[in-house]
Structure 1
């Protein structure tokens, strides 16, 4: 059969190609480097093979190949042409799947550098043989193997000094004996007796083993070099560049800024900012920088809102920092991160390392190695086992899931705001693993799946995952918020003249006939209401003249509702955590628990507390438990039973971290709040925007409708920034730049597929 050699090539390369598409191997991500490596090392190998064939050293059987036909190249049949890259590709697959990770995990020991000597001896023997007797099969084989040492040194791959590289070469010897022996025994390939020294293993000449080692080793070295270079340069491939071009860039300016306008105010203007969360802090800071007389009014005894921090007293009388709970600072928080960077607050940022979900059955889902390019990240999720592409490619699931890629600020809410995530999930028939990811993600917005608006969830996925290449890995601050953020923020604002009044709840706002406002008897030219949904609604209810002056805004504010209650439970324990986990992990809810924060891994004060215990011969851990949406059956009368909450928290902590089951609680702090906005089904149509009926009254917070997609802390700060910009515009001052992710999804506006 003249196609037998080609069939052999397919047999050799087929399994690696097919296996590359399975989600367990990770090799498909590296195809471009694998084929490039096979081509680079294959060219000199083909030149050698052509020389051997033309000189009669290697003979391809006309009965088993296309030798001598018009399909021959350089005198070689097509099967021989394809054989070289097929061998290289198959060897690279074996390297990547079986040896590469172990090689990367273990640094070579100093003595292992001596392994280069083995190859250098082969190189010297090959050179001496060539000088003494001319080019022969065995001498070229020795030379090819010996060149692996200088190639490794030139490419700086440092693989020759690793045991895994030699284990790979040993595997190549075994594979060559199997496959090479089959070619020889079937008579597909023969060797001239004059071209070989005559020593063979299972019919395979020793020279063929040398060439196989050289081809495989060189392919691995070039492949590793390309991987290292790609990691160092972080260059984007063609597909990634096309996707970014489709979006028009991942970081976009909301609108251009007139650089000719002045920065500083010349006419005195007074602004009241009500609420000292991120929205209020953002508005107050930017306005104070421009010369406005800003009064920041906060009903709590601390600033920061949901970033708030206070002290809790330990049993030994020591005061230790407590705050509102763990917060993630994602890289696509363009405006908030720029603000913190300007003030130097980003110096306290630390990278979390992984975005991890712990399933109830003990399985974990990691997002650390997932591609960050939109669309490619969805494929990467499949290849890393989060879901199976076959489960979501059908008409039912696939068409529904396309809504995530079709985000549009108008169309998405028209089609999906009246649909809950639970209904969407049932209709789309989401596979269990993907449903887990969506469920954990939806609860971060303080709503159970049957309440969460699918439109809001689509916007959230667009903002966090499908509109930028930032990925899900994020930063956190390395100490309590009071030390890391709020203290410096307070100092900066006061340095710019902001009058910060804490413990000051506003009773009402009066609209003056001449257009200004009276806030608890004090007059202001502008007002920014940056309180939470509960406080804002109550303030409008207590301010009839304000509601009458801004009836459309008041009507929308009257529909505001908080989401479900949430709780944070921090524990100081006398035991340690044995598992290697990131500082923050999301958990599949059994009954209550949504996430676990290992505070001693991420916060200096908690780490110091544990270190002090260890210095005294004891162990310890500081663990923070979160429930983002307390189930309704736990507060049937409206009040949450904190004792029941505590028991459920502990039971689920012990389920996920059983080593803490017998831990003694040295100190604990539990609180329940209900001030996060409800992103529930059908709420978007009546949600107020940041602008109002009045040109000197603005709303700000994570609950207002913005002209671009943003969520959580970025939404809150950006709303305050927009309010400050509009006030600057009214006073003919230069505005601040506002950045956004792309405002529409990759497939927005595309016709739906017919299948």
Structure 2
């Protein structure tokens, strides 16, 4: 008699296929155990078209994250005059790097570890074209561990098989296979199984976009499967289960597992992301004649007759004259002080209610905390500011920035930088095409700058975009190393804050060398999506990270912590229930405007970095198509699951 553990281990290959209803010979061959399925081609031109422009055309791309970089790279290759604008001094968006000081040495810090999966076909193809594949190294396998050992550790390896054989492989790998709890004779379990193996875009969203993952699980999800796989990987979307669309989760799982023939092992960069990926992108764009502008902040966009006419921007001035809105932070606000913003972009209103002070430390960007005596203290490196934001002591050299309150609503304020003698003049750009490739807060701010003729449909799509719960990264330097039997990047389940741990002194060259001559270790903890009410400020995040790190690696209690860095932002794209239909596409109602970013509605399965890159290439393809040029071939995993929902 079959147990409630996974049913397939008792069935032959033929019986499994018969059970699943796979009767078409082509389907059987395509999912053969011995023949690795190949990537699927999306949007291939049937005609042989020219690849490069024969007359000058220009494009302005706003945002130098992965989406903007991919779009700029592709269009600059084809002869377009590309101008890439980035508001930050650090290019790369969420894969940007910057310098931090640890003792007498400098290191590159990032927004958190990024894994490069084999099914990142479009990103990997660009890496091959840039000749940087040797900048990456395989992490060989991937572990998931559980607090208090409620489950045994899970390890994932390259598989080279798609459904159903990747499940068979997983069953053999898993030391928790008897706790999966799947019983396909139970109607609710059968419905779950059909849903996760029958993904079809957009049908999966028609059925499942209306319900959150938390609500869906309550309808009868196998407990073991959820705790072992779905909960850890749901958080890897950087969206919490209670506010994540089930449709989005199902396409995410299809891309990473059920429709993926590459397995779950992945690579990491040998150096920081800026060195390994961003700089090669930038060099290629510039080699092709493209202009890259950092600290370029757009302050006006002119639109007329459903067409962008021009934009203006300021460069190199953190106190820009561009107004922006910030929402009240009810988790920080009290009866005496009102706070606005979140993550590393928090403001406090002064007593006269005419100005706001930025709480972003001018040293390394941590958020300072207001002390009982009115001063401001940086939790990361100890800079102390007086009650007006002037540096009192510590490593910071510049005072906290002040902003003027322009307008005030019930739950938000509009701020503008106070003009200084160093304010920069506006620069104007006119182009044939425009691509907005920012994050969600960025596209919302840009849209407020559009003047004259604004398309109401696009406006409604933009204003309803949401951000996910904030994420946080804590990186720690210790004077001792420790034994670790799991993967160098490991997912962690069951802790209140921590979702993963990365041993940087095993992965990146700069930390490997430091560890060799010091005997120390560099560890990063990542919280993918935490609740602000639980961790309202950065001090509470650092305390929780340290406490949980000592639970995960008890040996470090005997070590000295030499340095700690914190990254804390609220700018990742949200995918809540009922958001799919209204999500903007790459091509907009405005004739020469295109969108790119992981918030854009995608026509094929993809996720995280691959989603960002693919959206940028889709935008480039739209422009290439408009000019009668050959579009780039885009690749993806199997576009639909084996079963039919």
TM range (shorter): 0.7 to 0.9
Q: How does 1:225-624 map to 2 (within 5 A)?
A: 241-243=29-31, 249-258=37-46, 260-316=48-104, 318-362=105-149, 363-368=152-157, 372-383=161-172, 384-388=174-178, 391-393=182-184, 394-512=186-304, 515-520=307-312, 521-545=428-452, 548-613=453-518, 619-624=519-524
Does 1:628 pair with 2:535?
A: no
Does the 8 A contact of 2:67 with 2:615 survive in 1? Answer: yes
8 Å CA contact retained: 2:303, 2:310: yes
Q: 1:498 to 1:391 in 2, by over 3 A?
A: same
SS of match in other structure, 1:544: strand
Q: Match of 1:196?
A: none
- How big is each residue's C-alpha offset from its partner over 1:385-431, in whole Å with a ceiling of 9 and x where there is no partner? 34446533222222223201121213211221121111222212422
Separation in 2, partners of 1:27, 1:447: 33
Aligned residues: 514
Return closer, same or farther for 1:511/1:248 CA change in 2, 3 Å cut-off: farther
With a CA cutoff of 8 Å and minimum separation of 6, indicate the structure with the bigger relative contact order.
2
* Mapping of residues 20-35 of structure 1, within 5 Å: none
Distance in 1 of aligned mates of 2:11 and 2:297: 56
Structure 1: gaps (5+ residues): 1-17, 33-236, 614-618, 750-755
Counterpart CA distance in 2 for 1:646 and 1:240 is 52
User: CA 1:644–1:553 in 2, change beyond 3 Å: closer, same or farther?
Assistant: same
- For residues 591-610 of structure 1, the C-alpha deviation after alignment (integer angstroms, 9 at most, x for no partner) is 10000000011100000110
Kindly indicate which of the two structures has a greater share of residues assigned to helix.
Answer: 1
Cα deviation per residue 1:330-375 (whole Å; 9 max; x = unaligned)? 1111111001111112111111111210101233111127673322
Structure-2 residue corresponding to 1:653: 549
Q: Secondary structure at the match of 1:335?
A: helix
How big is each residue's C-alpha offset from its partner over 1:123-158, in whole Å with a ceiling of 9 and x where there is no partner?
xxxxxxxxxxxxxxxxxxxxxxxxxxxxxxxxxxxx
CA contact (8 A) 1:517 1:526 kept: no
Q: Note the C-alpha offset of 1:634.
A: 2.5
Q: Is the 8 A contact 2:298 2:446 kept in 1?
A: yes
Which residue pairs with 1:152 in the alignment? Answer: none
**Shift in Å, 1:733:** 1.2
Q: Secondary structure at the match of 2:496?
A: coil
CA distance in 2, matches of 1:253, 1:585: 32
CA contact (8 A) 2:37 2:161 kept: no
Distance 1:281 1:369, change over 3 A: closer
Contact 2:4–2:183 (CA under 8 A) maintained in structure 1: no
| Correspondence for 1:747 | 643
d(CA) in 1 for partners of 2:156 and 2:252?
17
Deviations 1:513-569 (A, max 9, x none): 594520113211100000000100111022133xx4432111101101111110111
TM-aligned CA deviation for residue 696 of structure 1: 1.5
Higher Cα Rg, which structure: 1
- State how far apart, in whole Å, the 1-side matches of 2:580 and 2:167 are: 28
Equivalences for 1:77-156 in 2 at 5 Å?
none
Residues 96-128 of structure 1 show CA distances to partners (whole Å, capped at 9, x for unaligned) of xxxxxxxxxxxxxxxxxxxxxxxxxxxxxxxxx
Give the whole-Å Cα distance in 1 for the aligned partners of 2:585 and 2:97: 29
- Residue by residue, what CA displacement relative to the aligned partner does 1:700-748 show, whole Å, maximum 9, x if unpaired? 0111001111111111111111111111111111111111222221112
Tell me the SS of whatever aligns to 2:283. helix
2:467 corresponds to 1:676: no
Residue 706 of structure 1 corresponds to: 602
- 8 Å CA contact 2:59–2:431 kept in 1: the answer is yes
Question: What is the RMSD computed on CA atoms of the aligned residues?
Answer: 2.8
Matches of 1:471 and 1:419, distance apart in 2: 28
> Equivalent residue for 1:666?
562
- CA deviation vs aligned residue, 1:184-219 (integer Å, no higher than 9, x gap): xxxxxxxxxxxxxxxxxxxxxxxxxxxxxxxxxxxx
Name the counterpart of 1:734. 630
Distance 1:625 1:696, change over 3 A: same
Offset of residue 21 of structure 1: 12
Residue 190 of structure 2 aligns to a residue in which SS?
Answer: helix
CA distance in 1 between counterparts of 2:641 and 2:491 reads 26
Please tell me whether the aligned partners of residues 5 and 177 of structure 2 are also in contact (alpha carbons under 8 angstroms): no
8 Å CA contact 2:306–2:454 kept in 1: the answer is: no
Structure 2 contact 458–589 (Cα < 8 Å) conserved: yes
What is the CA distance between 1:301 and its match in structure 2?
0.6
Distance, in Å, in 2 between the alignment partners of 1:429 and 1:480 is 39
In 2, the alpha carbon distance for the partners of 1:404 and 1:19 equals 22
Alpha-carbon spacing, 1:665–1:259, altered in 2? closer, same or farther (3 Å): farther
Q: Which residue of 2 aligns with 1:227?
A: none
Counterparts in 2 of 1:610 and 1:728: CA distance versus 1, 3 Å: same
CA drift of 1:241 comes to 3.3
Which structure has the highest strand share of the two?
2
Separation in 2, partners of 1:373, 1:712 = 20
